[in-house]
Amino acid sequence: MKKYFIILLIISSTIIWAHPKFYNLEEYSLNYSVKADSTHGFDVISYDISVTIDDENEFVNGSVAAVVEAEENLNQITYELEELNVSSVQVNGSEAVFSHNNGELQIQLGSIAPGEQFTTLVNYSGNPQTSDDVYNIGMIFNQNFVFTLSDPSGCRWWWPA
């Protein structure tokens, strides 16, 4: 009888302790939205990105020139840029009116016809943050290196796109 009791005790304790820890998957889900490419009315032909990184102070100073083709009539273009400061914006080499609120950089273009190409130049700086999702996308500073996790939508944490 004692032998059966010990075997039953071993089996029941194995069953009790064998269950994996419960993780609340909602806590780790990706709860941010990304605009579909088809909703903005333009196609970026190329980016020319220039970023100076001060890894000691976790600070970036950069500029991004984008060659863009309008797919519809445009009077403004919106890029995404989180937590960084925009110092100036140019459209086709001339200073442009812009606003930067809640991660959206809106640039006034004037009037751009479908099929017309134009260039934007955004100068920015600041301390890049990382996103709040499970992957912490953005620019990561470590003791001996700096790296980014950007695909598909993390670039907005360290350069305007």
* 79-105: pLDDT as tens digits: 999 989 999 999 999 999 999 999 999
**pLDDT interval class at 156 (50, 70, 90):** confident
Q: What is the rounded distance in angstroms from the CA atom of residue 151 to the CA atom of residue 161?
A: 12
CB 124 within 8 Å of CB 50: no
Q: What are the φ/ψ torsions at residue 6 (nearest 5 degrees)?
A: -65, -40
Residue 33 falls within a domain, yes or no? no
Q: Per the structure, how many domains does the chain have?
A: 1
Q: What is the rounded distance in angstroms from the CA atom of residue 89 to the CA atom of residue 63?
A: 9
CATH code of the domain containing 106: 2.60.40.1730
- For residue range 27-46, list pLDDT tens digits in order: 555 555 555 554 578 999 99
Most confident segment among 19-23, 37-41, 57-61:
57-61
SS3 18: helix
- For residue range 143-154, list pLDDT tens digits in order: 888 888 776 677
Residue 113 falls within a domain, yes or no? yes
Q: Which two tokens stand for residue 86?
A: 């925009």
Residue 92 falls within a domain, yes or no? yes
Residue 17 falls within a domain, yes or no? no
Of 12 and 144, more confident: 144
Strands 146-149 and 85-91, by their bridges, are unpaired
Average pLDDT over residues 99-117: 94
Q: What is the pLDDT of residue 149?
A: 74
Residue 136 falls within a domain, yes or no? yes
152-to-93, 114, 138, 148 alpha-carbon distances in Å: 29, 26, 11, 12
Q: What is the pLDDT of residue 19?
A: 60
What residues make up the domain containing 50? 42-157
Q: What are the φ/ψ torsions at residue 128 (nearest 5 degrees)?
A: -60, 135
Residue 15 falls within a domain, yes or no? no
Residue 107 falls within a domain, yes or no? yes
Q: Which residues contact 75 (CB under 8 A, 6 or more apart)?
A: 108, 109, 110, 111, 112
Residue 71 falls within a domain, yes or no? yes
Q: What is the pLDDT of residue 23?
A: 54
Q: Which residues contact 94 (CB under 8 A, 6 or more apart)?
A: none
